[in-house]
Amino acid sequence: MTSILPGSPPDVAPTPLDDYLALCKEACDGEIARLYGDGDQAGGLRDLILDYPRRGGKALRPALGIAVCLGLGGHLDAILPTAATLELYHNAFLIHDDIEDESWWRRGKPTLHIDHGVPIAVNVGDAMLSLSLQPLLDNVERIGLGPALRILRAVSHMTRRTVEGQAIELDWVRSNTWTLTDADYLTMVELKTSWYSFITPLQVGAIAAGEDPDRLAPLEALGRHLGAAFQITDDLLNLRADPDEYGKEIGGDLWEGKRTLMLLHAMRCAAPADRQRATHILAKRRPTADGAISLVELLATLTRRGELSVSGRASIHSFLMAQHVSEPKTFDDIRWLYGLMHDIGSLAHARKVASRHAREAATVLADLDWLPASQHRDTLAGLVDYVHGRTR
């Protein structure tokens, strides 16, 4: 099942699921390019908007919407503008998340703000959020007023949930909060990830197909479980995956001090001395993108060589402290955190929780008796299997 990952080796034949996802991505990218047109080249904005989508990615969100819509007898035309909107939102969130998390690497290349600076990256994200309204208005002609408005309301609800989840996570970082339960984590993930990545994509597919409003509740349950399983597994992969397959920097979450299910488990279960050491490490900043050697290390070297006085070094240190250029995490710190999570059983715990949610998702899908057997339903089942397979 790993062959649907973007970096899958070329000697593995694509599965029907791979083909389906590739078709969805092609259709959706075409819609985004059409939407922006060729005419306007304001500040190179068009190329910047298409940068992340062109880097690959599975177009998971469009595929979920398309599979539900087509599986319920709807047409591709009915869901394609909305699918493009979901992909625009996703990529806008990625660009802004990368700034917020200080990530350096995305789909095998430097992040947009590393390549072009924070100002341009903030604006490109805003541009994608702004552009995403147009396809939802195009829906009026394509699927009629009622469904078009229901989709607008669903997307409005989705974006609110997403920024609330993001706000909770950022607040945990700012307040250096680590005493959090699995339930706290799952609430945050549902808001931050499940709504825009799973629940809304599934629901807009049903709305575009003209399905009854009472179908939306089971799709919400399906999306919630899929989202939890997906995010936990994504966080686990971040610790250990092959970068060629995974496309993000490995262990980046630990450098960022991201609250993952396993790190929270370790902080709850560790011996007091280990918890104290972990808290100290996690309070350190991550090293800057440029610096293999840090300024602090350079100053130590100069002092050892007698080129910088001890008092001079102290002045520079206090200057840097005032500028919040504090001590960075080291590779040893990261290795120690990983060892702690491994030894204490946090990785096994996270895999268990992810697997439970994946099984729940499979059960919910199996119970959807109003969704007839088809390649579209098979695609949904394949995606559930894929998420489940990653949890093992």
Per CB under 8 A, the segment of 149-157, 333-341, 345-353, 382-390 that binds a second copy is 149-157
Q: Is 160 in the site for a second copy (CB under 8 A)?
A: yes
- Amino acid identity for residue 243 in this structure: P
Q: Is 330 in the site for a second copy (CB under 8 A)?
A: no
Q: Given the complex with a second copy, which of 10 and 175 has the nearer CB atom?
A: 175
Per CB under 8 A, the segment of 57-65, 114-122, 244-252, 334-342 that binds a second copy is 114-122
Q: Given the complex with a second copy, which of 64 and 155 has the nearer CB atom?
A: 155
Q: Is 44 in the site for a second copy (CB under 8 A)?
A: yes
Residue among 224, 209, 227, 210 at smallest CA distance from 60: 227
Q: Is 183 in the site for a second copy (CB under 8 A)?
A: no
How far is Cα 316 from Cα 330, in angstroms, rounded to an integer? 21
User: Of 10, 38, 179, 311, which lies in the binding site for a second copy, with binding defined by CB under 8 A?
Assistant: 311
Residue 113: count other Cβ atoms within 10 Å of its Cβ. Answer: 24
Positions in 254-293 near a second copy (CB under 8 A): 288, 290-291, 293
> Which position has the token pair 């694509």?
14
Q: Is 326 in the site for a second copy (CB under 8 A)?
A: no
Q: Given the complex with a second copy, which of 213 and 312 has the nearer CB atom?
A: 312
Least distance from a second copy to the Cβ atom of residue 133, Å: 4
Positions in 52-111 near a second copy (CB under 8 A): 93, 96, 99-101
Residue 100: count other Cβ atoms within 10 Å of its Cβ. Answer: 15
Q: Given the complex with a second copy, which of 168 and 381 has the nearer CB atom?
A: 168
Give the C-alpha distances (Å, rounded to integers) separating 325 from 78, 283, 286: 51, 13, 10
Count the site residues for a second copy by CB under 8 A: 71
User: Of 1, 76, 129, 221, which lies in the binding site for a second copy, with binding defined by CB under 8 A?
Assistant: 129
Supply the DSSP string of 309-359, one letter for each residue.
Answer: -HHHHHHHHHHHHHTT--PBP-HHHHHHHHHHHHHTTHHHHHHHHHHHHHH
Give the C-alpha distances (Å, rounded to integers) separating 140 from 13, 18, 82, 287: 40, 31, 11, 49
User: Of 33, 76, 316, 368, which lies in the binding site for a second copy, with binding defined by CB under 8 A?
Assistant: 316
- Amino acid identity for residue 254 in this structure: L
Q: Is 355 in the site for a second copy (CB under 8 A)?
A: no
Q: Given the complex with a second copy, which of 326 and 363 has the nearer CB atom?
A: 326
How far is Cα 126 from Cα 266, in angstroms, rounded to an integer? 37
